[in-house]
Structure formats: structure tokens, C-alpha cells
Homo-oligomer: A and B are copies of this chain.
Amino acid sequence: MQPWKTLSRRVILQCGRFLTVESHTVALPDGRIIEEWPWIITPDYINVVAVTVEGCFLCFRQTKYSVEGTSLAVVGGYLEPGEEALAAAQRELREETGYTSPQWSSLGKYSVDGNRGAGNAHYFLAQRAVRVAEIHADDLEEQQLLLLSREEVEAALDGGEFKSLSWAAAVSLALRQL
């Protein structure tokens, strides 16, 4: 089973650091050539499922541009240029919640769009989190920090209250490890 080969690539749209679109010419293993395969370049991002030392899940009630109404959410954000995923996760947890954690584990790295790229999602579980600082989030969205029990998180997940794919995926994967 052979991979597709990128024969050439050119930028067809550049929108600052958050979105570049390329057009690729791709060779399939059977010899077919695809002339115009759109490829999306966005920064990798992290999500963190954080559980406090008391066993509460750090979640948000917030808005998000693509989501109708409000949604439950977990800590998340883009990697800064050159930043490692774990460092981004630790930074975002502290900025968005004021908590830090001594116990981090990876929940995996996943390609966001198997066909067109769109970066990678890196998920982390942070346990025994404690509050050490005020919240210093620079996000554009309004968000309200909630401390939820495991039962509340499971009911919300199964009820579709985590409305963005990455939040639902991170929570679902984290619950497997807890």
C-alpha cells in the first residue's frame, strides 16, 4: 500500500498565519495524476482535558463562531510558531484557567482533515490540577469556567453539548484513561 506522492505545490491563498491554501499536483499509486488537489495549512492546536486534585473537570461554557448558541468546551489553542505541543498545552491551561498540573499524559496526535491537511490536533490529559494564578486568556470569545463532575461531563458528552469536534474527541479520549 503506497502513499500518494506530491509532484508540485503552489500557494493559491494566503490569509496571515492562520490559513494558507495550496494546490497540489498528486500522483496516485496506480499512476493517475490529480492536477488540482486543495491543501489547507493551519497551525497545529492543542486541547487539554484537565481534572483538578478534587476530581473536577475544568470546562467552559462559551460561544464559538461556528457553533450555534453556546457550547461546553475544554482548554484549547493554537501552537505558537516553534512551540512544542506539550508546552502549548501547559501554557493554555494556565492562561485560560489559572490552573497548573504536575501530571500530564498525551492522548494522541491526529490529522484534522485526512484529505486536505488542516494541521494536527494534539490532545492531553492533565491530572491533579491546582489553581495558582488568575485567568489571563487572550481569546476573543466570552467563556465561563465551570468545574464539572465526571458524571456531568459524561452526560454532556453523550448529550451533544460539546459541539465542536475537537472538544468531543478530547473529552471522549480522556474518559478512556480515567
How many whole Å from A118's CB to the nearest CB in chain B? 7
Given A18-B115, A29-B142, A112-B165, 9 more A-B residue pairs with CB atoms under 8 Å apart are: A12-B15, A18-B116, A19-B116, A108-B168, A109-B160, A111-B164, A111-B165, A112-B113, A113-B164
Complex A-B: 28 CB contacts under 8 Å? A1-B63, A1-B144, A2-B142, A3-B63, A12-B13, A13-B21, A15-B23, A15-B36, A18-B38, A19-B40, A19-B116, A21-B21, A28-B140, A29-B142, A34-B140, A40-B40, A42-B116, A66-B111, A66-B117, A66-B118, A108-B160, A110-B168, A111-B165, A114-B166, A158-B176, A165-B169, A168-B169, A175-B176
Chain B residue at minimum C-beta to C-beta distance from A4: B65
Taking chain A's interface residues, is the majority helix, strand, or loop, or is none over half, making it mixed?
Answer: mixed
A26 contacts chain B at the CB level, 8 A cutoff: yes
A173 cross-chain contacts in B, Cβ below 8 A:
157, 168, 172
Q: How far is the CA of A136 from the CA of B107 in the complex (A)?
A: 35
A1 with B61: CB separation less than 8 A: yes
Contact (Cβ within 8 A) A114 B65 = yes
CB proximity of A115 to chain B, nearest CB, Å? 6
Give the distance to chain B from A144, nearest Cβ to Cβ, in Å: 7
State the interface size on chain A (CB cutoff 8 A). Answer: 62
User: Is A163's beta carbon under 8 Å from chain B?
Assistant: yes
Chain A contacts to B: CB under 8 angstroms: 1-4, 12-13, 15-16, 18-19, 21, 23, 26, 28-29, 32, 34, 36-38, 40, 42, 61-70, 108-118, 121, 140, 142, 144, 157-158, 160, 162-169, 172-173, 175-176
